[in-house]
Amino acid sequence: MPSWLAHAPAAVGVAAILAPSTATRRFWVTAALCGIIPDVDFLGAPFGSQAYTEFFGGHRGITHGVPFAVALGLALAWLVFRDPRWNGARARLAVAFTLAMVTHGNLDAMTDLGPPIAFLAPFSPERYTFPWHPIHPSGVSRGRGFARLPAVLFNEFVWGGLPGLVLMWSATVWRRRRSGSLGSATA
């Protein structure tokens, strides 16, 4: 399963496309956390507590689904950004945070390790994975153990983190050029 090196930058990159011009640190931190939040279903596993994980339909269950992303994206937009300056941007924030969370399941579905993703939970018990698995976290468990960890993290960064950073940079450049051309058009 990808680490925060893939999940957080990918989520921020997708959210950057819809970031309002008034985006603050709170926006960027919330977007990054959206990339990590779905793994709340796995918190008990390292301590031997499967009951906690099963409450969420197992790892990669309901918290990795699109309905969960929509519900939490809406909640974050209206609860975390409730001050009046966000009034005209809440729908945009909700979509940005929803898409940021959806990146988590998509990255997990591109791995060669772990259970498939319940993208439609709780409405369907079906679990899915993508046919292409470029992210290889199972490399840690093969061969030399943790000696492979840098290669695994680099692989995750290449397939999740780097595209996210490129998206963020591209959205920023596009927004600056657009605001520059709008300024010169009204002058």
User: Which comes out higher in pLDDT, residue 114 or 107?
Assistant: 107
Average pLDDT, the chain: 87
H helices of the chain, in order, are 4-18, 25-34, 50-55, 66-79, 90-108, 149-156, 162-186
Task: Give me the pLDDT at residue 50, please.
Answer: 62
Q: Is 85 exposed, middle or buried (0-12, 13-18, 19+ CB in 10 A)?
A: exposed
Q: Of 5-19, 21-35, 150-164, give the lowest mean pLDDT range.
A: 150-164
Percent above pLDDT 70 for the chain: 83
Q: What local confidence, expressed as pLDDT, does residue 57 receive?
A: 75
56-111 pLDDT, tens digit per residue, is 677 888 999 999 999 999 999 999 999 999 999 999 999 999 999 999 999 999 99
Contact indicator for 11, 35 with CB cutoff of 8 Å: yes
| The pLDDT value given to residue 129 | 94
| 118 vs 181, more confident | 118
**What sign for the dihedral angle of Cα 2, 6, 10, 11?**
positive
User: What pLDDT is recorded for position 151?
Assistant: 84
- Please report which confidence band the pLDDT of residue 127 belongs to, taking 50, 70 and 90 as the band edges: very high
Kindly tell me if the per-residue pLDDT of 51 is higher than 80.
no
How does 2-39 read in b/e, with b if 16+ C-beta sit within 10 Å? bbbbbbbbbbbbbbbbbbbeebeeebeebbbbbbbbbb
The neighbouring-strand residues paired with 14 are none
Confidence of residue 159 (pLDDT cuts 50, 70, 90): very high
